[in-house]
Structure 1
């Protein structure tokens, strides 16, 4: 598709939402009829579907991806005095969750080709106080989870995947979410699997962690007590996945693999069409099958290139403009320079990427990017 007036938006959700509209309306009619707006069959059904999809025993729906990270860290006993290693080029929520849990983030650099953490960059940030590693599957691509899981085992550290951008991605044939003690997903509307509002989930095969999360997401209520509604055993919060969003997610999950295949097709168009002398497409490791939440290039004079693309009706994004270790709330936790993260931040540009983007539109984006960079270089 091409948007009206020859515009190509950075993101357009109308296509995916149109596909599920009838099924969602039917499901919502049933929710209205039964008045089961919080919890209930719709939520437990989606949790079971999502766990099966990810290859884990359990999924616990929560209100958003940030809560998923925060509650998992607390559920694993991570708090004051503990450190958690995390890449600095992630969305701020990853670091925010560590601090909210009372722990300290330790920032790691990344590989210059993939912009993903490696076992080596993570290890370089580990200290005696480190309790966990959080590799981020940035832009929908997974790092070498085999090597990272081996590192975590060797050092006795917990592994928690931030898979908020990687719905359906795989490493060595295993889906995102199936490697760590737990993995955290966001279902923000723009994600590959997106709700019609905020939503999130934790996947895990740790039954004890699930019991804690079920309590913590519901004000710390006892789950098995005779009158658990009024018995609060742990410090919790209000982070429940509502039934309306669960209906949307179940409907979209049926189509996720097809939509991800479309994203991979579009990424292949960019890879074939973009001149490497103009811009460098973020690479993917052999063994990874990314879900391509974002299509990111590194380009010189990024802001000028972005403005020129906008002038030609092509929308773009930046993910992310500022590394977390340079942000005011987290700078106190920085322990040194991170050369790759810092050098890439001013060169990142996210190109249009959504399942219903047409091949011709992706070709036009690549061609105009090539032409604009050539012009600005002169």
Structure 2
């Protein structure tokens, strides 16, 4: 059994380090071999003016552990490190290391050892440094001052090189401070610490980018961020100067009374004014520094802007190194800015129910699908119920549904007052076959709900033609197929109406519940608009059956943003499925049809429970869609009917096809044997937009390992 490795990231800010990067990479690589961790090397190019970016990209091309982000401008060391930590925030620990080769990567194994022993903060403190004299003197003076007046537990030589646990990384990122000190934040956060002393090496390449001006600015911001000493000093100085002024006033008064002053004290007066003015101006400077830092914090400018990312995606969403079955954070990442703006727009709107955001989304979604009308509703289940009502399917009518799908399909039929008629599915595609329409009509069904399962489309031209011939209403269930096309048309445009779900995991998902009905019939669309609002007409009078099923403004606004990147997301789903198709044929995957957008990638191992346990032990999450055929759910079986059409049975006259009622249909020839057999095996693998390539390969590796067991 493979244990899940701890995830360690090394964050390296880069500015003017072109010459040192190859050696740095080799030394980190050598130092971390044998650590038994999943390593990420996160380089942050702080808009270096030399050729550092080219060197970093070449490293990323040869080593998948290397990630690179290029910032839009030079932000400074602290911001660059914060940007790097944001990319690896889900790792178990982060090492912060400079790129100038002055801090030895060879200390990383000892840092990791102490971290594994339970120390969340491991600091490497310089006991000596091979730097120019002026630099050494300034450094000693600064660290003494910082230790004396701001952070008493600062190691005497200070530190930059350190390892911090994920908990500490979270504290730093959540602080969102801009003009501050990283070392100060690490110490301020608390947590148990361990210190490793070391001698800092001389710079091997180039010169330090830390000019005296930058050092003074860093020292000032560090002290201001963590100490009120500057203000206290000037308050004390103000008291001293004030006291001196009072004494001078007494002296002048006495001197005038006793005639001691024979010559006006112009020099003394000027000296006093100069001292006071200098003190006041310096005080204003210190106070201005505090005010400027507060201004920086109140502005809504981002701490950093990433211009370019190189290497495999490391967006948030990892959970202790596992391959999640689905990550909403990863899916949302490309639209994060637009989603934020959409939420603000919805919150600022004066209409919070069926307002402009719903109208905007309905128009956009209808255009995307290629249907004249789209009506937003509360969820996918309601959309089927409302479609049955709007199309005039009478209560008590039989409605044919495939036996292998999500229970909401049958629940929606029951809520409409109708009776679900469970039909068996095709053994390969697991879809409702076109031949089922005639069987359903022979039983007296008035409607059929073909479900486009896992993103594959049913044979809609044949189903619609047969339904028209036999007088059945067709409502497509497109909950799992938004974006899928076949026969030159988008799903949802073949039936009299079509149901869509916007549950968060769907191809087009929102951040709660949502659904829609599309139709080409303006009368059906008008009835749907009324039925979703209690069946009321424009005057508020209930004229139709109805319910409270409104797509709310917030979800509609978010859906509009997600719709803008749906094709990109769907392309990623297709690419992941193609990789699985290439590698996992031994697991009997449900075949993908041309034009499919895979909402789920489903394989059919013989021992599902053991297969899922095997993958889980290797850090891969899986799902089951669905564990029981609908006719085996006790409540649904009691309320619905099962159509039987044994292979050996000759075609029967209308009304004579066998029908098993409810829970009594337990034998293979009385149930839906294909759907029931499939439900015992189907297993869904991670397949969603934003899944990193490394995760896809881990899924492939684990599945191949399972298949190789024979």
TM-score (norm 1): 0.94
1:320 corresponds to 2:626: yes
Task: Name the residue aligned to 1:71.
Answer: 386
CA distance in 1, matches of 2:615, 2:401: 33
CA distance in 2, matches of 1:237, 1:130: 25
CA distance in 2, matches of 1:289, 1:215: 34
Residue 5 of structure 1: how far off its partner (Å): 4.5
Tell me if the contact between 2:426 and 2:674 (Cα under 8 Å) persists in the aligned partners: yes
Tell me if the contact between 2:438 and 2:470 (Cα under 8 Å) persists in the aligned partners: no
CA distance in 2, matches of 1:158, 1:236: 20
Tell me if the contact between 2:434 and 2:463 (Cα under 8 Å) persists in the aligned partners: yes
Tell me if the contact between 1:64 and 1:198 (Cα under 8 Å) persists in the aligned partners: yes
Residue 337 of structure 1: how far off its partner (Å): 1.9
| 1:94-133 superposed Cα distances (whole Å, 9 cap, x missing partner) | 1111111111111111111111111013433333521111
Q: Paired residue for 2:567, among 242, 254, 257?
A: 257
1:373 corresponds to 2:707: yes
| 1:6-33 superposed Cα distances (whole Å, 9 cap, x missing partner) | 3111111112212222212222222222
CA distance in 2, matches of 1:271, 1:24: 33
CA distance in 2, matches of 1:98, 1:119: 20
Structure of higher RCO (CA pairs closer than 8 Å, 6+ residues apart) = 1
Which moved further from structure 2: 145-154 or 355-364?
A: 355-364
Task: Name the residue aligned to 1:247.
Answer: 557
Task: Name the residue aligned to 2:688.
Answer: 354
Unaligned runs of 5+ in 2: 1-312, 643-659, 661-669
SS in 2 for 1:26: helix
CA distance in 2, matches of 1:290, 1:171: 8
Task: Name the residue aligned to 1:181.
Answer: 496
Residue 36 of structure 1: how far off its partner (Å): 1.8
Q: How does 1:39-118 map to 2 (within 5 A)?
A: 39-118=354-433
Task: Name the residue aligned to 1:266.
Answer: 576
Task: Name the residue aligned to 2:544.
Answer: 234
1:154 corresponds to 2:465: no
Tell me if the contact between 1:145 and 1:179 (Cα under 8 Å) persists in the aligned partners: yes
SS in 2 for 1:61: strand
CA RMSD of aligned residues (A): 1.4
Q: Which has more radius of gyration?
A: 2
CA distance in 1, matches of 2:616, 2:394: 44
TM-score (norm 2): 0.51
Tell me if the contact between 1:81 and 1:129 (Cα under 8 Å) persists in the aligned partners: no
Which moved further from structure 2: 348-357 or 358-367?
A: 358-367
| 1:270-301 superposed Cα distances (whole Å, 9 cap, x missing partner) | 0101142xx1110133xx41111000001111
CA distance in 2, matches of 1:244, 1:14: 18
Which moved further from structure 2: 119-128 or 146-155?
A: 119-128
Task: Name the residue aligned to 2:598.
Answer: 292
1:221 corresponds to 2:536: yes
SS in 1 for 2:689: coil
1:144 corresponds to 2:459: yes
SS in 1 for 2:545: coil
Tell me if the contact between 2:342 and 2:561 (Cα under 8 Å) persists in the aligned partners: no
CA distance in 2, matches of 1:265, 1:323: 30
CA distance in 2, matches of 1:190, 1:259: 12
Task: Name the residue aligned to 1:171.
Answer: 486
Q: Paired residue for 1:283, among 563, 574, 591?
A: 591
Q: Paired residue for 1:18, among 287, 312, 333?
A: 333
